[in-house]
Structure 1
Amino acid sequence: MDFRLTDDQRALRRGVRDLLEGRFGREALRAAVDRADGRCAAGGAGRTGGADGGPREGARVLDRELWRELGAAGFFALRLPEDGGGVGQGLPEAVLVFEEAGRALLPGPLIATHLAAGAVPGAATGDVVVTSAAGGLVEWLDEADVVRGDVTGAEPLAPVDPLTPLHRLPVTGGGPPGNGALRAARTPDGLLTSLLTAAEQLGSAARTCESAVQHARTRKQFGQPIGAFQAVQHLCAGMLARVEVARAAVYAASVTADPADVAAARLLADEAAVRGARDCLQVHGGMGFTWESDVHLHLKRAWTRTHRPGGVAQSEEELADDLQAGPV
């Protein structure tokens, strides 16, 4: 099976990267972080409803203009058929797009809105922000126009990632806390959520790997670039190896859409993103731990994504069941 990208797929990836670099570059990212930090300092955690039940405009962190631009570019309608107003692309193309979103640390309930594009009016065009209550955590509940699922009793959490506000759902049914997430991961939307999350993790892992290599080439110590030291070389090599293994798994899963392949891709991508960000911090040294550095943002987002449906526990369960079932 040939997993090499076609010319159209490479053009799609370049186009999305150019769009995000122009519209959500580093300055826009840091401005969004500052807005989120300012809202938390003002006591903005929890629902801040206006007269219509939605968030007050002044309380918003999510850039609605950017959201609509993403809709106009076909981000959310990518997999909808052309005769239905969509772009008519497939899952492999969606993976490429979400990989670029992860690379740019693009905020917002991107996957939930993408999955709702064919069912919720306005989601495909970016006029409506959709979030999902699948699993134990709900992202961007305060700023969503539509919530798919029951969020009764949801409690706000202090988020690790400043650009991923979270609410926790109460445990129901008397089962262990992981049961809801496991059931959510095995639904069709849960499977797609896991795969597209893996794509975002892959993009983030690739970006931190590039950042580490660039720093290792330019930062000098004892009269030479720190990349000349074997310990730093080993960190960068390990990051690259995890990225490329995860890339092969994610791309393959986008073609097969097999639950076991998706589970394997998710495990590898989660590891590449989290360990890659940690190793990138080590390469940057003390400056990597400062607020001004973007490395910690990748680490915090990677940690947060691991708690979505299809995370480590659910993916391991899926792979275990597949192994026990044996060959078909």
Structure 2
Amino acid sequence: MRFRPTAEQRALRAGMRELLARRPDGTAVPAGPGPDRALWRELGGAGFFALRLPEADGGVGLGLPEAALLFEEAGRALLPGPLIPTHLAAGTVPGAATGDTVVTAVDGALVEWLEGADVVLGDAEGAVPLRSVDPATPLHRVPGAAGRGSAAPVASVLSAAEQFGTASVLSAAEQLGTAARVCELAVRHARTREQFGQPVGAFQAVKHLCADMLVRAETARAAVYAAAVTADPADIAAARLLADEAAVRGARDCLQVHGGMGFTWECEVHLHLKRAWVRARRGGGGAQSEELLAAELLA
């Protein structure tokens, strides 16, 4: 089976990267409680949310592999907002496909972008704000919701199995985007930053960090692309775990390469790490994927 993107898929990804390159600086924290509405509608007009809807229903008529490529670009660009719930709700919640309606969902006991959403899938009654580690991802906690499961709130949109699979692939794709981006940033900094009269990339310890980041990112890429094509639960679970690791460890290693400047607001590295931490908590924080893989191995 071939997982290499086609010419059409590469063009789709390039178009998404070009669109996101026109947005404001990715290090900027959203000024209000919700995502940028103009950008949200622009994404809707570009078919981001309606990508997997049939053309007869006003969608683009593509599949999960293409959606994974676009969400990878969203992760790479630190695109804020409840992208996955809105994408999943396209065709079910009016206005979601076009970007006129912002949709979020209760994920276990957490809700992203609760105050900035027009529609909330699931019972968010009694939700209390949390101090999010990622300043660009506001979070609320729903007391007593942890036992309901992350798939229940969106049962009206997809079945529990479809929700776990699709949402996990798209979340893994976002993590892949972060893993690839921080690898690029680390290599760029290692080539230009000098210490003791030579680029820091000449030192063996920095070389090893960059090499490990690349290996993790490319391993995650193969797993995410394969999961998007096969939609097999075991493939999806493996992709989720590998992508979470590649994003979190890659961002931490990128910070190590940058040193103290990586924590400054002028540098996007620390924001990638914080966003990766938040994504890694979605859907049970990878525990569901670990349990699924363990069951597969025992079987």
- TM-score normalised per structure 2: 0.94
Q: Which residue of 2 aligns with 1:45?
A: none
Measure, in 2, the Cα distance between the counterparts of 1:223 and 1:208: 25
1:92 aligns with 2:65: yes
Return the match for 1:191 from 152, 161, 165: 165
| Structure 2 match to 1:153 | 126
Which entry has the higher C-alpha Rg, 1 or 2?
Answer: 1
Cα offset, 1:292, TM superposition = 2.3
1:180 aligns with 2:152: no
- Relative distance call for 1:145 and 1:182 in structure 2 (3 A) is closer
What displacement does 1:182 show?
7.8
TM-aligned CA deviation for residue 190 of structure 1: 2.3
- Tell me the residue number matched to 2:15: 15
- Which secondary structure does the structure 2 equivalent of 1:265 belong to? helix
1:30 aligns with 2:23: no
Q: Does 1:230 align with 2:199?
A: no
Does the 8 A contact of 2:106 with 2:150 survive in 1? no
Is the partner of 1:76 in helix, strand or coil? coil
**What aligned pairs does 1:128-167 form with structure 2 within 5 A after superposition?**
128-167=101-140
CA deviations on 1:242-276 (whole Å, 9 max, x unpaired) are 00000000000001101111000000000000000
CA distance in 1, matches of 2:66, 2:121: 25
2:244 equivalent in structure 1: 270
- 1:1-328 alignment runs, 5 A limit: 1-24=1-24, 27=25, 29-31=26-28, 33=29, 35=31, 59-172=32-145, 177=146, 180-181=149-150, 187-309=161-283, 311-324=285-298, 326=299
Letter of the structure 1 residue corresponding to residue 91 of structure 2: G
Q: What is the distance in 2 between the residues matched to 1:216 and 1:306?
A: 27
Q: Please tell me the residue identity of whatever aligns with 1:30.
A: T
Q: RMSD across aligned C-alpha pairs, in angstroms?
A: 1.7
AA paired with 1:224? Q
Whether the 8 Å CA contact 1:102–1:200 is kept in 2: the answer is yes
Q: Using the alignment, how far apart are the partners of 1:3 and 1:310 within structure 2?
A: 28
Give me the whole-angstrom Cα distance separating, in 2, the residues matched to 1:5 and 1:276. Answer: 24
Equivalent residues, number: 294
Query: Which SS does the other structure have where 1:187 is aligned?
Result: helix
> Cα–Cα, structure 1 residues 6 and 310, in superposed 2: closer, same or farther, change >3 Å?
farther
Structure-2 residue corresponding to 1:40: none
CA distance in 1, matches of 2:242, 2:202: 28
Distance 2:222 2:147 in 1: 29
User: TM-score, normalised on structure 1?
Assistant: 0.86
Q: Which residue of 2 aligns with 1:47?
A: none
Spell out, residue by residue over 1:291-314, the C-alpha distance to the aligned partner (whole angstroms, 9 max, x if none).
322111000000000111153211
Residue by residue over 1:179-210, the C-alpha shift from the partner in whole angstroms, topping out at 9 and shown as x without a partner, is: 62487895321221111000000001100000
Choose 287-296 or 250-259, whichever is displaced more: 287-296
Partner deviation per Cα, 1:32-76 (whole Å, 9 max, x = no partner): x162xxxxxxxxxxxxxxxxxxxxxxx444210100000000000
Counterpart of 1:52 in structure 2 is none
Task: Report the CA distance between 1:290 and its aligned residue.
Answer: 2.2
One-letter identity of the residue aligned with 1:199: A
Distance 1:129 1:182 in 2: 19
Residues 151 and 163, structure 2, Cα contact 8 Å, conserved in 1: no
CA change 1:34–1:70 in 2 (3 A) is: closer
Query: Any idea what the Cα deviations from partners look like across 1:121-155, whole Å, max 9, x if unmatched?
Result: 10000000000113221000001000111111111
Aligned residue type for 2:76:
R
Runs of 5+ in structure 1 lacking a partner?
36-58
Query: Any runs of at least 4 consecutive aligned residues in structure 1 with deviations exceeding 3 A, and if so which?
Result: 181-187
